[in-house]
Amino acid sequence: MSKSILVANWKNHPSSLNEAKSLLNRLSRQSKLYKKLSFFIAPPLSYFESVSSRSKNFVHLASQDIFSSIRTASHTGEVTPDILKSFGVRLSIIGHSERRAMGETSADVSEKVKTALQSGIIPLVCVGEISKDQDGEHFEFLREELELSLAGLKRKNDISRLVIAYEPVWAIGKHAEDAVEPTDLSQSVMFIKKILTDMFGRNMAERIPILYGGSVEPGNANNLLHETGIKGFLVGHASLDAKSLGVIANSLISK
C-alpha cells in the first residue's frame, strides 16, 4: 500500500444502525480527503451491509477479527473468511488487545494470520505491551508477541502483505495526553523493524507498514507522525466523530 493507511476501528459502536448511517453520511462529505488514503472502516458485523453499500467509493471494509479456519464445516456463531469477502472485506484486524484480553493467544493470532492470507485478506496484526515500562522490559514482551503472532510465515508473497499495528495496551481508549510520546514511539517502531528484519530479512521487513494505535486524536496526530516511522493510524474512539477523523486524515495526508 503506497498511500498512508487509516483504519477506523468502530469496535461495538455506534449503538444503532441509524447512528452508523448518519456517521457514514458525515464521513462521505469528506470523501475526497479519504480517497487520498488507504482508508478502512472496521464496523460491527451487523453494519457491514450499510458500510459497504454507502461508502464504496472512498472506504474499504475491514473486519475486527477473523475466524481461524477456512474449513466449510459448521461452526455456530462464527463468520468465515468467505462470508467476510462476500461483503468486500479487504483487511482484518487480528490480535487486538481487547480480544487477547478475552483469551486469544499469540498462537491463535498466528493461525488467524495464515487464514487471512490464504483467503486473500490483509492481516493487520496488533501487538503492544500491557503496561508502561521505564526499564525497557516491554521490548522483550514485544519481541515474543511478534515472533509468536507471525510464526511460520515463510513465503515472500505472504510477508509482503502483512501490516503491523503497534498498540501499547496502556494507551488505548484514553486521551491524546495519555498516548505514547513520539520519541518512545520511534524507539518502539525501530525495535519492531529490527525484529521483522531478524525474522524475514531487511528487504522484506522494510516493506511491512507499521501503524500506531492508542488514543490517537486530532490533538496528537501530527506529533505522532513526526519522524516516528509509522505509515498510518488505527483509530478507535476518535473514528466515531467525523470531524475528529477528518483532522486525523488531514495530518496523514500532509505528513
Catalytic residues: 96, 167
> How many CB atoms sit inside 10 A of residue 162's CB?
23
- Smallest distance from ligand PGA to CB 238, Å: 6
- Farthest CA pair distance, the chain: 49
* Contact residue for ligand PGA among 192, 234, 248, 252 (CB under 6 A): 234
- 39 grid coordinates: 482508508
236 binds ligand PGA (CB under 6 A): yes
Distance CA 79, CA 67 (A): 6
129 binds ligand PGA (CB under 6 A): no
Which of 6, 159 has the CB closer to ligand PGA?
A: 6
Which of 162, 224 has the CB closer to ligand PGA?
A: 224
* Contact residue for ligand PGA among 213, 220, 221, 224 (CB under 6 A): 213
Q: Which stretch binds ligand PGA (CB under 6 A): 48-56, 132-140, 151-159, 229-237?
A: 229-237
- Smallest distance from ligand PGA to CB 61, Å: 17
Type of residue numbered 110: S
Distance CA 118, CA 69 (A): 10
The H or E element containing residue 34 is: helix 31-35
124 binds ligand PGA (CB under 6 A): no
Q: Which stretch binds ligand PGA (CB under 6 A): 44-52, 103-111, 195-203, 228-236?
A: 228-236
Strands 210-213 and 163-166: parallel
* Contact residue for ligand PGA among 172, 189, 199, 225 (CB under 6 A): 172
Beta pairing partners, 14: none
Distance CA 93, CA 5 (A): 13
- 135 grid coordinates: 526499564
The residue whose Cβ lies closest to ligand PGA is 236
167 binds ligand PGA (CB under 6 A): yes
232 binds ligand PGA (CB under 6 A): no
Beta pairing partners, 206: none
9 binds ligand PGA (CB under 6 A): yes
Q: Which stretch binds ligand PGA (CB under 6 A): 58-66, 105-113, 166-174, 244-252?
A: 166-174
Contacts of 1 (CB under 8 A, 6+ apart): 38, 163, 209, 231
Distance CA 58, CA 11 (A): 20
- 41 grid coordinates: 472502516
215 binds ligand PGA (CB under 6 A): yes
* Contact residue for ligand PGA among 14, 44, 88, 173 (CB under 6 A): 173
Q: Which residues bind ligand PGA (CB under 6 A)?
A: 9, 167, 172-173, 213-216, 234-238
